[in-house]
Structure formats: structure tokens, C-alpha cells
Structure 1
């Protein structure tokens, strides 16, 4: 169905990235050069979401962006998160959750195998990117006032 944590690990390995689970006080994930550290204290859905974001950093970020006071670093952080949202959920995932009968954020997050918080952050990001709504295929996804998916007739 959707990418699993194990599939993300395989994708990471195919890109010569080394992923290790370890104690990371204060962080859920970090990337440095070709090494990604994921907190071993997370559940599988959380690890999957964190790894997707760290892969997003690998693909979209340049340099040390830890200082969130810097506007450029905040933009790179947003790009990395958007990359992860698109990888794990995407507009298609939102439509598929709707088609599968999901009636709540909890049900949709279970269907997509991500955390509720990650799904909400994705929806917020898409709302910022697309505004009130966007179309995909035969569907309109509304982000304002609340998430809703409607099939075009």
C-alpha cells in the first residue's frame, strides 16, 4: 500500500545513506553527510515520519540548518518536510484515505501509516501551499475551513 519504514530504509541504502537507530537526546532524527540517526525510542510510524523528513533534508537541504532564527534555514526545513509529506502521503494519499471511508484524522493516519500529528502538519503545509483547495484527478481537496474531499461529477 504505502511505503513502510523498512522500504524507506532500503531506499536510503540504495542512495548510499547509513541509517542507525540510537539514543538522540532532544532530537527524533538528524542527518550529517551520508549518515542518518533516528531515535530508537520512537514507534514504527514515528520512525517512518522522521526518516522521510531526514531523507527530505538529504534531497533538499544544504549545509547546517540547525539555527531556525535564519530565514534561509527555515525555508530549507519547510522544503525537507514537504518532500517527506509528498513521499509518505501526497494529495493522492488524502484522496485514497477518503475513498477508503476514513472519517477522521485518526482513521486517515492509520490508513496512511503515519502519525496523526504528521498528517495534520502535512495538511497544514498543503493548505499553505495550495490555499483553499486544489484539484487532483477527478477530486477537489478542500483545506479550508476543514479538510474535505469531494468527487467532481
Structure 2
């Protein structure tokens, strides 16, 4: 369901999305000139959702050809695209919503958010790099290690 919603969002932005054979096993998706290719080797819509989110991140944040990741400027653009995807799929507000629904572990959280556990783990790592071990968001404190949400009383 989330994958289809993100496909619809891409379409409304004028982006064509195609599931195609992509040479090799490392590349799961590519973006160029308002076209996103998603590897037809991906088995689940959850995996496709995570890849599509990142490729949409490239649409919104990347300029030029960054396939060669040796220049630091290309690596920074890759990180920006991934952060866009993390904020789209694993936003701090969604983590708080999950807490309110009594979701208590990473497996349940990944399932609730419709992402893979790997994607969730990478999002948490990136949030730790940006915010440190905790962040205050909308009256809640989100702890990234161990993962949890603290609701403060007034």
C-alpha cells in the first residue's frame, strides 16, 4: 500500500517509475531525468518502497551524475537523498505515533512504517549522527540508543 502511494506521488511529480532488470546485485534503484528504475530482483513492496523513497530523494536533492562515489561532493549528495528518504518513511513524528500505538520493538516499528529492518536501522544511525543519542520533538524525547520515546508530563 505504501509503495503504491509513493508511486502515485512520483507520478504526480511527473516522474516515470519502471521496474527493470539492473545489471549486478548492488544497485537496487537509479534515478535520472525524471525516470526511476527499480530492480526487478526486489521481491517485496516493502523493499521497493525503501528504494523508491531513496530515488525520490535523489529527484528532490541531487544534481548531476553521482554514480561515481569517490568525490566527496557525490557522497554528500547520496547522504542528502538518503536523509530525504528517511525523513519521508521514518519521520520523527511517525516514531512518536508508533509509541502511542504501543509498538515496542524495532521489528514492529519497521512493520508499522512499512520499511525493512535494515532501512529502519540505517535511518536510526543517520538520526544519531545528526541529533546525538536523543532529540526533542513535539513535546516528546526520542532516544535512539536504546530506541524509545519519552513522554513528559506538564
TM-score of the superposed pair, with normalisation by structure 1:
0.94
Deviations 1:34-90 (A, max 9, x none): 111001221100000000000000000001111111111111000000001111120
Q: CA deviation at 1:132?
A: 2.0
Distance in 1 separating the partners of 2:115 and 2:71: 29
1:138 equivalent in alignment to 2:139: yes
Match of 1:69 in 2: 70
Deviations 1:75-115 (A, max 9, x none): 10000000011111200111112221122111100011110
TM-score of the superposed pair, with normalisation by structure 2:
0.93
Aligned residues, how many? Answer: 150
Match of 1:37 in 2: 37
Distance in 2 separating the partners of 1:146 and 1:71: 31
Deviations 1:111-153 (A, max 9, x none): 111100001111011110111211111210012x321211011
Question: Structure 1 residue runs of 4+, over 3 Å off?
Answer: none
Select which of 5, 13, 16 maps to 2:14: 16
Distance in 1 separating the partners of 2:100 and 2:41: 33
Match of 1:150 in 2: 150
SS of equivalent residue, structure 1 residue 54: helix
RMSD: 1.2
1:48 equivalent in alignment to 2:66: no
Q: Structure 1 stretches of 5 or more lacking a match?
A: none
Within 5 Å, give how 1:96-111 maps onto structure 2.
Answer: 96-111=97-112
